[in-house]
């Protein structure tokens, strides 16, 4: 059943890249267009993949998480702040600062995960509301802290704009990275690589290990899991916290890998696109990666359309508006939800608070 979906996804990506190759053929060689689009696609897909993995961790354990956006934003800020502080106040080398920044981002994401777990598992708050709390709190807190820690004489840096330690370096895998067309896949930054690796790790853990079996049992039928001696509360807590940590890594992408700066609200709704990628991928890590790549390809498509605007037939110039192509992830997800392209099956107990003592 998944093959139909993956086929659909592959078709979209190929068509999008194909259109650009055709458009740009007169100016640039196909190999460099494909390579460039693949690079853009992977860069855009990295935070989406990590966000979707966060969603999968939580939802496979039966907890809906619409707070991915907030988790990523929080991590983006604190990872950034941490790296800056360590490099400019503690005078640690840039590479070490960046890595410590990533660690701080992961921890702050995990802490937001802990908040979500506390609300949903312990207090049995409606999971959508809990996610909304996470998002709103993240937006307010990062805005507030950004101001207090960076601006004005009383800030952590005494009013100076500290010099950023840069971004995580590109890793060029020899030989593989030099393959024409697809070499770009092997010339990425560390978080992008990690995201790819994590997808397969998550797939393995979820479907081939004890922890995965238990997690899925908790997400499908928590009472059955409990009757089999599994501590539902513990499994949910750990999964949500791990999910938060993964979202934290996704947050680190924004400020430590992509660009060395933090902006209020800089995640710009990508947490919600990640949610869409998770659903589109049918709650499976590999599916989520595929979906994230589609959304990345759509954005690469739009950027390239703008670059080749002079050769676009006038009828299609509207496509270069980001608001038109920006619709792609959302519309695709809505189509998926209607069940036209294969059935989407969330974990059965997703979103249902678990009450240990409920009678019968």
Residues 233-262 binding other proteins (CB under 8 A) are 254, 258-261
> Hunting for tokens 């354990």 — which residue is that?
61
Give the DSSP letter of residue 168.
Answer: P
Interaction between residue 333 and other proteins (CB under 8 A): yes
- In this chain, which of 4, 22, 163, 172 binds other proteins, going by CB under 8 A? 163
Of the candidate spans 1-9, 77-85, 99-107, 323-331, the one that interacts with other proteins by CB under 8 A turns out to be 323-331
Tell the smallest beta-carbon distance from residue 100 to other proteins (Å): 18
Residues 174, 314, 315, 357: which binds other proteins (CB under 8 A)?
A: 357
The CB-of-118 to other proteins minimum distance in angstroms stands at 8
Does residue 306 bind other proteins (CB under 8 A)?
A: yes
From residue 237, give the alpha-carbon distance in Å to each of 186, 194, 210, 275, 358: 35, 23, 17, 20, 20
Q: Identify the residue among 65, 97, 215, 299 touching other proteins (CB under 8 A).
A: 299
Given the complex with other proteins, which of 4 and 170 has the nearer CB atom?
A: 170
Which is nearer to other proteins, 22 or 27 (by Cβ)? 27
Q: How far is the CB of 360 from other proteins (least distance, A)?
A: 6
Q: How far is the CB of 104 from other proteins (least distance, A)?
A: 19
Smallest separation (angstroms) from other proteins to the CB of 138: 8
Residue whose tokens read 């991928």: 281
Question: Measured at the alpha carbon of residue 137, what is the angle toward residues 134 and 139, in degrees to the nearest 5?
Answer: 105
User: Contact between 327 and other proteins (CB under 8 A)?
Assistant: yes
Binding flag, residue 337, other proteins (CB under 8 A):
yes
Our measurement of the distance from residue 299's CA atom to the centroid of its chain's CA atoms, rounded to an integer in Å, reads 15
Closest contact distance (angstroms) between CB of 344 and other proteins is 5
Q: Which two tokens stand for residue 77?
A: 């800020």
Q: Count the site residues for other proteins by CB under 8 A.
A: 113
DSSP state of 316: G
Site for other proteins in 126-155 (CB under 8 A): 126-130, 132-133, 135-137, 139-141, 143-144, 146-148, 150-151, 154
- The string of DSSP codes covering 147-189 is HHHHSSTTSTTTT--PPP---PPPEE-TTGGGSTTTGGGGEE-
Site for other proteins (CB under 8 A): which residue of 89, 176, 268, 311? Answer: 268
The DSSP symbol for 341 reads S
Q: How many residues does the chain have?
A: 360
Scanning residues 23 to 82, which ones bind other proteins (CB under 8 A)?
A: 24, 27-28, 32-33, 35-37, 39-40, 43-44, 59, 64, 66
Residue 220 is a binding residue for other proteins (CB under 8 A): yes
**Residue 228, burial from CB neighbour count under 10 angstroms (0-12, 13-18, 19+):** exposed
Choose one: 99-107, 242-250, 270-278, 286-294; the region binding other proteins (CB under 8 A): 270-278
Cβ closest to other proteins, residue 229 vs residue 314: 229
Q: What is the separation, in whole angstroms, between the first and last Cα of the chain? A: 35
Name the token pair of 64. 């809906």
d(CA 27, CA 14): 20
- Beta-bridged to residue 188, according to DSSP, are 171
Cβ(351)–Cβ(126) below 8 Å = no
* Contacting residue, 26, 91, 227, 314, with other proteins by CB under 8 A: 227
For residue 187, list its beta bridge partners. Answer: 172
By CB under 8 A, residue 324 contacts other proteins: yes
Q: Per residue in 132-146, is it b (16+ CB within 10 Å) or e — as a string? A: ebbbeebbebbeebb
Give the range of 5-13, 105-113, 190-198, 220-228 binding other proteins by CB under 8 A: 220-228
Measured between alpha carbons, how far is 120 from 240 in angstroms, rounded to an integer?
A: 10
Find the binder of other proteins among 80, 81, 237, 272 (CB under 8 A). Answer: 272
Query: What's the rounded Cα separation, in Å, for the pair 277 and 288?
Result: 5
Q: Does 111 sit near other proteins (CB under 8 A)?
A: no
Footprint (CB under 8 A) of other proteins, residues 183-202: none
């Amino acid at each position: 059943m998944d093959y139909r979906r993956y086929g659909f996804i592959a078709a979209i990506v190929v068509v999008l890249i194909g259109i650009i190759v055709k458009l740009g053929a007169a100016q640039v060689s196909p190999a460099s267009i494909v390579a460039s689009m693949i690079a853009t696609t992977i860069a855009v897909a990295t935070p989406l993949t990590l966000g979707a993995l966060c969603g999968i961790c939580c939802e496979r354990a039966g907890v809906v998480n619409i707070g991915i956006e907030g988790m990523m934003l929080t991590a983006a800020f604190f990872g950034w702040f941490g790296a800056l502080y360590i490099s400019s106040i503690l005078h640690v080398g840039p590479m070490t600062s960046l890595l410590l920044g990533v660690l701080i981002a992961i921890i702050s994401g995990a802490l937001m995960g802990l908040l979500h777990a506390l609300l949903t598992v312990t207090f049995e708050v409606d999971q959508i509301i809990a996610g909304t709390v996470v998002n709103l709190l993240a937006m307010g807190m990062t805005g507030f802290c950004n101001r207090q820690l960076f601006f004005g004489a009383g800030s952590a840096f005494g009013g100076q704009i500290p010099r950023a330690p840069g971004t995580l370096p590109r890793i060029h895998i020899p030989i593989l990275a030099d393959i024409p067309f697809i070499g770009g896949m092997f010339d990425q930054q560390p978080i992008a690589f990690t995201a790819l690796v994590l997808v397969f790790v998550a797939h393995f853990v979820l479907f081939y290990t004890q922890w995965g079996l238990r997690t899925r049992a908790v997400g499908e039928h928590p009472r059955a899991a409990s009757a089999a001696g599994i501590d539902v509360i513990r499994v949910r807590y750990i999964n949500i916290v791990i999910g938060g940590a993964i979202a934290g890594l996704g947050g680190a992408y924004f400020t430590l890998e992509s660009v060395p700066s933090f902006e209020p609200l800089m995640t710009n709704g990508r947490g919600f696109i990640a949610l869409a990628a998770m659903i589109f991928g049918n709650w499976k890590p590999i599916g989520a990666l595929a979906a994230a790549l589609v959304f990345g390809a759509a954005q690469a498509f739009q950027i390239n359309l703008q670059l080749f605007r002079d050769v676009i037939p006038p009828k299609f110039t509207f496509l270069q508006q980001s608001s038109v192509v920006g619709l792609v992830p959302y519309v695709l997800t809505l189509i998926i939800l209607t069940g036209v392209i294969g059935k989407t099956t969330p974990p059965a107990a997703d979103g249902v608070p678990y009450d240990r003592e409920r009678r019968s």
